Structure 1
Amino acid sequence: MNPITGLNLARIVLGAVALVSPALAAKIFRLDPGANPQLGYMSRMFGAREVALGAVTLAASGTTQRNLVLVGMAVDATDAFSGTAAGIDGSVTKATSGFLTLPAVGAVVAGAAALVMARR
């Protein structure tokens, strides 16, 4: 499978889970919706972003698709920053911070690798 396709299908699936079942998304991300009832709203916003970005990236081609992968990498880098910041400010435990940050960093790396492989 094309790495850009795989990365964006994963983005869409994760986003769909966050949209349809914020409680499940919270569990996946090791967050506590009971402690923050507004988490469902934020989860759905995250989910909508992920589905939209993944879908538009898959629908695009050429330079437009490349630029959308770069946008995705920027979004994922911001997610990594957010996961780290949450651990620093005590919003989440250090372990949860790592659990939130590492996949986001992995998505940035996967996006970069996908762009390199697409040039071959």
Structure 2
Amino acid sequence: MKRAMELAAGGRVAWGALALAAPGLNVKLAGMGGRDAPELRYLIRVFGSRAVALGLGYLLSDPAARRRWRRLCLMVDACDTAAGLAHLARGDVPRGPMAGLVTITGAYAALDALALRAET
């Protein structure tokens, strides 16, 4: 489980760094449109900085602090997944790309929950 969490944290850093450096490419890889809108590029960079902070926070922490980081990651991933599911239910976003993103955030949330459960 430890290795899986470290790989997930590394994935957060990589995706977040891409979002910061190339928000338009990040949106394109996610399969979403509107990547030229400045407000969307800003929001993607906000997401990117959050992802980098969560990933590095976890990776650079000692074992005792990692439990807090796992809880924070679970909260963020669960909120992201719930928001994505709400958009899917409303049908106000492209279904295919959103389903892919919800699958990613849902997998992160599940991994976070399993890691926390394994500690008890």
TM-score range, shorter chain: 0.7 to 0.9
Q: 1:34 to 1:22 in 2, by over 3 A?
A: closer
For residues 45-64 of structure 1, what are the structure 2 equivalents within 5 Å? Answer: 45-64=46-65
Q: Which runs of 5+ in 2 are unaligned?
A: none
Q: Note if contact 1:19-1:48 (Cα within 8 Å) is conserved in structure 2.
A: yes
- What is the root-mean-square deviation of aligned Cα atoms in Å? 2.1
Inter-partner Cα distance in structure 2 for 1:20 and 1:89 = 31
Q: 1:112 to 1:91 in 2, by over 3 A?
A: same
Q: 1:60 to 1:95 in 2, by over 3 A?
A: same
Q: CA deviation at 1:34?
A: 4.5
Q: CA deviation at 1:108?
A: 1.0
Alignment-derived partner of residue 4 in structure 2: 3
Inter-partner Cα distance in structure 2 for 1:116 and 1:4 = 13
Alignment-derived partner of residue 39 in structure 2: 38
Q: CA deviation at 1:111?
A: 1.9
Q: CA deviation at 1:84?
A: 1.5
Q: 1:6 to 1:116 in 2, by over 3 A?
A: farther
Inter-partner Cα distance in structure 1 for 2:35 and 2:51 = 24
Q: 1:92 to 1:2 in 2, by over 3 A?
A: same
Equivalenced residue count is: 119
Q: Which amino acid aligns with 2:110?
A: V
For residues 12-31 of structure 1, what are the structure 2 equivalents within 5 Å? Answer: 12-31=13-32
Inter-partner Cα distance in structure 1 for 2:45 and 2:113 = 27
Q: CA deviation at 1:18?
A: 0.6
Inter-partner Cα distance in structure 2 for 1:112 and 1:14 = 21
Q: Which runs of 5+ in 1 are unaligned?
A: none
Q: Note if contact 1:4-1:115 (Cα within 8 Å) is conserved in structure 2.
A: no
Alignment-derived partner of residue 90 in structure 1: 91
SS of 2:33's equivalent in the other structure is coil
More helix by percentage: 2
Inter-partner Cα distance in structure 1 for 2:10 and 2:35 = 30
Q: Note if contact 2:24-2:36 (Cα within 8 Å) is conserved in structure 1.
A: no
The percentage of aligned residue pairs carrying the same residue is 28
